[in-house]
Chains A and B, each alone.
Chain A
Amino acid sequence: MNRLRGVTKKALFLPLICLVLVLLLNMIKDPGFFSIAINNGVLYGRLIDILNRGSEIAILAVGQTLVVAASAGTDISVGSVMSLSACFCSVLLAGYGVNSTDTFRMPMLAGMLSGVFVGGVCGAVNGSLVSKLKIQPMIATLILFTAARAVGLLLCNNQITYLRYEPYKYLGNFIPGCPVPTPIFVAAAVISAAFLVLRKTSLGLYIQSVGINNRAARLLGINSARICFLCYVICGLCAGIAGIVASSRIYSADSNNIGLYYELDAILAVALGGNSLGGGKFNMAASVVGAYTIQAINTTLLALGISTDQAPVVKAIIVVVIVTIQSPVFRAWVLSRTGRNRKAIKEGAGA
């Protein structure tokens, strides 16, 4: 019993329960939801879809968690930065004004890495505005939220640039001979890199202390501004990686639509993970679980066949339920209820 209570107290417990609840919703209509098979040489099933489609949100959530923890604010530019890095990559590979190409002007990997690099540059811009100029994070990132997508459009000459070169599709789809969708590997790599850095270095501790009290951290000898800046750069790099994956899925740079509204999903992932948007203590694993929960909701809505005009309402209801379950007030209430019950049982036994 005590061990069980110990488990329920863990920060990861509630987000995981919520994820499982969302998945169980599907039992109502189709138990086949959970089946995984090999079809056409690749893994095939709804759960695989969730892992695959959730990759971008999970990657963004990693960066967003750090930003939220260090600066008590959100980076709302990640969706636009995704679009910009995809456009930058495609313009390098295809050339300016090219509508569709199957030969690249430079090595594919160099183009992709440049795209990710541009994401990092965007993160650095956000980071300097927030950490050096002390502009509120939402305002500072609002600049790139509006500008990055527009710059992407300009780079692509206001059109969708298609990169019809088979290996370009690998990152967002499948590598021939490998049954697992590549985005899952990318997300896994980003997440494990984040965990390694947080576990093996004291960066995580520094970020928490900066987030809890930035001045106290500085008095302790932590360069608060640099830590905060670093978080934004990491967040930008994550957005860059997510942008390249999203672009590879559709082997094109669709500047209008890549990463559209993803910043909201990234922030929601952090919140669904039970992390406070007020900064300070954070749990990376919980954010990642939050990210996959969002994708589970999306996949579930499609699987349940809920008509598109009603889907946002259903999604909202699910999110409200999850957030309520996670809220401290609700938890306290549940604890008090169960506590009273236990007391009542005890009294009953006594009498």
Chain B
Amino acid sequence: MRKLFALILALALALSMAACSGGASSTPTPAAKQSAAPSAAPQKLIKVGFAQVGHESDWRTASTKSVQAALSKEKGFDLRFVDCDNNSAKQLEAVRSFIQQQVDYIVIAPIVSTGWDTVLTEAQNAKIPVIVLDRTIDDSTKYVTWIGSEFTNEGLAAGAWLKDYAKAKNIKDLNVLVIKGTTGSSAEIGRTKGFEKIAKENGWKILDQQDGNFTQDGGQKVMESYLKSYKDKFNVVVCQNDNEAFGAQDAMKAAGVTYGVNGKVILISFDACKAALKQVLEGKINADFQCNPLQGEFLADAIKKLAAGEKVPAKTYMKEPWYVAEDILKSITYTNNAGQTVTEPLVKVTQAIADAAY
């Protein structure tokens, strides 16, 4: 198995070498011909190595596709992509191989947040700038920039929306049940922190917060239990991702509790994948706060700036749309995690938006 894997790797390496040296050599191989054909542009391609976490969710797949699309040959990039299968040893290996290949930029979507200093020092010595995507690196500062989502802002935005929505609908008492994500994950921590802050400021009652493990089954199980513990005592359910929201919907449906735009319970979700936006469109989820997986454009932009010798900020927070089912509110204003007061638009979901989602 290992031998086979090594063989495949070696083959891939040989092919990619052939592909990039093809332009210069006098006897181009078929592979070189193929890759050279579309990029007739005279300028040199920017070589980028990308060590992606893996393919554990639709969100991750969307992220990979977005990066691959934004760093394509046509756009002047030569992307070397490694799917690290959620294996951090494999990821270190991938970064080292990028250094050996002398790529121009290394992009890492770290699987774990620590253990990076050695390899980042090696990259620094080789004068290859490193860009960190999505999750963070905590034990080293030897990278030029980080691009990703601010989960706390997602929680804050959800709270800010709920506050304005309750006011608009003249709902006095908010009794909230939260179905949390996997305990200890950065999305869970950030979304909980942000939402709790607003809940505290406004004196909402958070009745319970249990772990639904980011899965539909988990959401359903926790909701089934909530329905018995807090019968008729709650009017808001916050699910920390869409899958949990689907599970919670099934549990409420089975118990005859109505939810969504015309229901008794306000249902809030995060992630905003395609299936969930369809539910928002149908009014079965009131609001969905997206964690934007489309990092490609932001990444391409940062690399272009770096290549042109411009400065990039140390942290780039991606623009994240907030989706709602009704157009009662146009925008929300809140103090974000960086302490700035921001006003952000609310997007009413249409068929086109739902179709275009990941």
- Which residues of A does B touch, CB under 8 Å? 30, 32, 39-40, 42, 44-46, 49, 53, 100, 158-160, 162, 173-174, 246, 249-250, 252, 254, 256-258, 299, 302-303, 305, 307-309, 311
Contacts and interface: CB of A to CB of B under 8 A. Distances in A.
A100 B61 contact: no
A159 B255 contact: no
Contact of A257 (B61, B215, B222, B256): B215
Contacts of A307: 209-210
Contacts of B57: 256
A42 B208 CA distance: 25
A311 B212 CA distance: 13
B217 A308 contact: no
A158 B217 contact: no
Given A100-B275, A307-B209, A308-B180, 20 more contacts: A42-B254, A44-B228, A45-B228, A46-B228, A49-B228, A159-B58, A173-B250, A173-B254, A174-B254, A246-B217, A250-B250, A254-B215, A254-B216, A254-B243, A257-B213, A257-B215, A257-B218, A258-B217, A305-B208, A308-B211
A252 B215 CA distance: 11
B224 interface: yes
A53 B222 CA distance: 12
A249 B210 contact: no
Contacts, number: 70
B87 interface: no
A91 to B, nearest CB: 17
A40 B217 contact: no
A249 B217 contact: yes
A47 to B, nearest CB: 11
B55 interface: yes
B124 interface: no
Interface of B is mostly: helix
A162 B254 contact: no
A231 B199 CA distance: 54
A162 B275 contact: yes
Q: Which of A30, A174, A252 has the most CB of B within 10 A?
A: A252
A158 B254 contact: no
A309 B220 contact: no
A160 B247 contact: no
A49 B251 CA distance: 11
Contacts of A308: 180, 183, 209-211
Contacts of A257: 213, 215, 217-218
A303 B56 contact: no
Contacts of A252: 216
Interface string B95-108: 00000000000000
13 contacts: A30-B229, A32-B228, A39-B256, A100-B275, A158-B55, A160-B58, A173-B254, A254-B216, A256-B57, A302-B222, A308-B180, A308-B210, A309-B183
A97 B161 CA distance: 36
A159 B61 contact: yes
A154 to B, nearest CB: 11
A303 B230 CA distance: 10
Given A250-B216, A257-B215, A302-B221, A40 B247 contact: no
A40 B256 contact: yes
Contacts of B215: 254, 257
A107 to B, nearest CB: 25
B254 A40 contact: yes
Given A158-B61, A174-B254, A308-B210, A254 B229 contact: no
A299 B229 CA distance: 11
Contact of B220 (A32, A249, A299, A303): A249
A44 B231 CA distance: 12
B343 interface: no
B256 A303 contact: no
- Ranked 10 nearest A-B pairs via Cβ: A40-B256, A308-B211, A302-B225, A250-B216, A257-B215, A158-B55, A308-B183, A250-B217, A308-B210, A305-B208
B221 A53 contact: yes
A307 B56 CA distance: 27
A39 B255 contact: yes
A306 to B, nearest CB: 9
A44 B255 contact: yes
Nearest to A300: B225
Contacts of A160: 58, 243
